[in-house]
Structure 1
Amino acid sequence: MDYKKINPLVRWGASILLLFWTVCSVYPLLFSVFQSLKDNQQVYSGKAWDLPNLPLLWSNFSYTWDKYHFGTYFLNSIVVTGGSMLLALFLTATTAYVLARYTFKGSGILYYLYISSLTIPSLMLIVPMFFLFSALHVSNSFTGIILLYSITAVPMGMFILMGFFKSLPHELEESAVIDGASLYGVFFKIMLPLATPGLVTISIVNVLQFWNEYQYALVLLSDAIKYTLPIGLGVMQGEMQYRIEFGPLFAGLLISTVPVLIIYVLFQKQINDGIVAGAVK
């Protein structure tokens, strides 16, 4: 549709709505930046909504990083997010490939079981998952939380990747087999590289989800040295007790938010293109 052919009133209305939505989205981030550069005196003096006074308190970030162990939490989040992303990518790609390229008894039922799992609220899974992982002796460990994150990410990723695998011609597989390639060679050397747009999309989506996840990590991780950034923020607020240090608290919030924001800004085109392409195919 040609944008210039749209009714001018509709265009102005859409522009105003988008501008309002942009302000609503950007302002919380700017507000957090301003608060992270203030001390409590500026906040309690009725200047919470004003710009921070000079000099700016960049020391709030180093204070939060050292005193509240955000360096450890940050590293833990990188380990958990990276491990979960790689394992989820492998499980998702292999599952989607098999269901998309091979027909066997029960394959349809298996597909709908995966899709139906998307309708289950995550809160309903916390208690059974806790007892299951405790029985398997992987609770309170990076192994357990990585396994949990990876498993829960498979259905959505499989739904996206199946569109890519179904669109690939069968002649590619047949030619590779004739040339002596094994089933594993066909998958890893031919089919998987051709599905790169979908792989990039689900990888980015999973990273954003794993980095911000709070509920499962809160239940499964009981050792403070293994906390991730979302749990660290809650612990930080609890340690402040009756006196909240707003500057360091907002600094910790930015430390946990900015990496995800940067990833989304850099790869938003790949996310949108991959999801749309997978759905269309």
Structure 2
Amino acid sequence: MSFSQPSRIFRTAAILVLLLWTSAVLYPLLWTLLSALKNNTQFLTNKPWSLPEFPLYWSNFSYVWKTYHFGDYFLNSVYITLMSSCLSILLSATTAYVIARFKFSGSQLMYMIYLSSMMIPLILGLVPLFFLLNDLYLINKLNGLVLVYTAWSLPFGVFVLVSFFKSLPKELEEASYIDGAGYFRTFFQIMLPMARSGMIPILIMNALNNWNEYIMGTIFVNEPSKYTLPVGIAIMQGEMQYRTEWGPLFAGLLISMVPVVLVYAFFQRYIVAGITAGAVK
């Protein structure tokens, strides 16, 4: 009995499924781009999924960037995402290293507290977080969102990196101590670079989550000049009310999607490498 025919059929079926999945993923992006190049007349007179007519309205992008302050929203999101993602990966790496490599009273309890915090729904923490930030005078402050996003991302990073640091050989630390290096130098010059394949996927996923976060950005910031992109898009749609400008609205959506698509396009190999890094250890 030959197995070439079944394998060929399976390969063809797998390719068809992947093509269908790719089409399902790319179609919303393409539809958003085509819709961003239309004016309201084309939306009202033609079908929503029809191709845009010439001339293409590239001005929708500059219009939404200036008129609806998308430039400010974009820069706010960039600042908050970069600061919170870098701070969370630094804190999670140092915390995970201490828990994984040093045995002290309460280390496992600390680890369980981090794990249990991942099970608490975000909605339950909004009210106490609001009063805490208010007492610290961090309401309507970008740095307040940075701290909240950092704390929100920290448990997942600790959870992943504790297992990763445990898998690294202890002989490297012992050799470093023999050579005269202290704890800080051993961590930052030896152990941290070795954990890079585990840290990069966490950094990327935290950045994407912080970029797309909406609920906390709405509750903790109500000053228009400090809105993030997800909040700005919702405010923009609310300001339009009965005169919805569909072209600029889709242009704003596309602007918010471009950084996410670029991150996935350029760093997907790091995500895959980080997920599979512990499989062969």
Change (3 A) 1:247 1:168: same
Deviations 1:24-56 (A, max 9, x none): 111111110010000011010133111111111
Are 1:63 and 1:248, in contact at CA under 8 Å, matched by a contact in 2? Answer: yes
2:120 maps to 120
> Which residue of the partner structure matches residue 110 of structure 2?
110
SS in 1 for 2:57: coil
* Partner amino acid, structure 2, of 1:77: S
Between the aligned partners of 2:17 and 2:175, the Cα distance in structure 1 is 53
| Amino acid in the other structure paired with 1:187 | F
Listed as ranges, the matches of 1:52-201 within 5 Å are 52-201=52-201
The gaps in structure 1 that reach 5 residues or longer are: none
Q: Secondary structure at the match of 2:114?
A: helix
TM-superposed CA distance for 1:18, in Å, is 2.4
Q: 2: distance between equivalents of 1:121 and 1:16?
A: 38
* Cα contact 1:37–1:52 (8 A) shared by 2: yes
* Local SS of the residue matching 1:132: helix
1:254-273 map, 5 Å: 254-273=254-273
Q: How far did 1:9 drift?
A: 4.3
What is the Cα deviation at residue 95 of structure 1?
A: 0.8
Q: Deviations over 1:244-278 (max 9, x none)?
A: 10000000000111111111111111112102224
Give the drift of 1:20.
2.1
For 1:130 and 1:280, locate their aligned partners in 2 and report how far apart those are by CA, in whole Å: 44
Offset of residue 4 of structure 1? 6.8
TM-score (norm 2): 0.94
Rounded to whole Å, the distance in 1 between the matches of 2:280 and 2:159 is 12
Structure 2: gaps of 5 or more residues: none
Letter of the 2:207 partner, please give it: V
Question: What's the CA shift for 1:147?
Answer: 0.6
- State percent identity of aligned pairs: 50
Partner of 2:246: 246
AA partner of residue 224 (structure 1)? P
Aligned pair count reads: 279
Deviation at 1:142, TM superposition (A): 1.3
Residue 235 (1) aligns with residue 235 (2): yes
> Does structure 2 conserve the Cα–Cα contact (< 8 Å) formed by 1:99 and 1:111?
yes
Q: Would you say the 8 A contact 1:163–1:280 is kept in 2?
A: no
Q: CA deviation at 1:132?
A: 1.7
Deviations 1:120-167 (A, max 9, x none): 222222222112211222121111100110111111112222233112
The aligned counterpart of 2:217 is 217
**How far, CA to CA, are the matches of 2:117 and 2:16 in structure 1?**
39
Range with greater deviation from structure 2 (25-34 or 199-208) = 199-208
The answer (yes or no) to whether the contact 1:77–1:228 under 8 Å persists in 2 is: yes
The 8 Å contact of residues 160 and 275 in structure 1, kept in 2 or not, is answered as no
Tell me if the contact between 1:65 and 1:71 (Cα under 8 Å) persists in the aligned partners. Answer: yes
Q: CA deviation at 1:194?
A: 1.0
Work out the CA distance in 1 between the residues paired with 2:44 and 2:14: 39
* Residue aligned with 1:51, SS: coil
Q: How far did 1:11 drift?
A: 3.6
Does 1:40 pair with 2:60? no
Once the two structures are overlaid, the 10-residue window that deviates more, 135-144 or 6-15, is: 6-15
CA distance in 2, matches of 1:87, 1:55: 46
Distance in 1 (alpha carbons) for counterparts of 2:278 and 2:151: 21
Amino acid at match of 2:59: S
CA shift at 1:19, angstroms?
Answer: 2.2
**Cα contact 1:201–1:270 (8 A) shared by 2:** yes
* TM-aligned CA deviation for residue 57 of structure 1: 0.5
Q: Report the 3-state secondary structure (helix = DSSP H, G, I; strand = E; otherwise coil) of the residue aligned with 2:243.
A: coil
Instruction: State the alpha-carbon separation in 2 of the partners of residues 141 and 132 from structure 1.
Output: 13
Distance 1:124 1:5, change over 3 A: farther
Kindly state the Cα deviation for residue 68 of structure 1 after the two structures are TM-superposed. Answer: 0.3
Whether the aligned pair in 2 keeps the contact of 1:84 and 1:146 (CA below 8 Å) is yes
* Matching residue's letter, 1:30: L
Q: Does the 8 Å CA contact 1:160/1:278 hold for their aligned counterparts?
A: no
Quick one: distance in 2 between partners of 1:141 and 1:163?
A: 35
Q: Deviations over 1:44-89 (max 9, x none)?
A: 0133111111111000000000000011111111110111011101
C-alpha separation in 2, matches of 1:137 and 1:10: 61
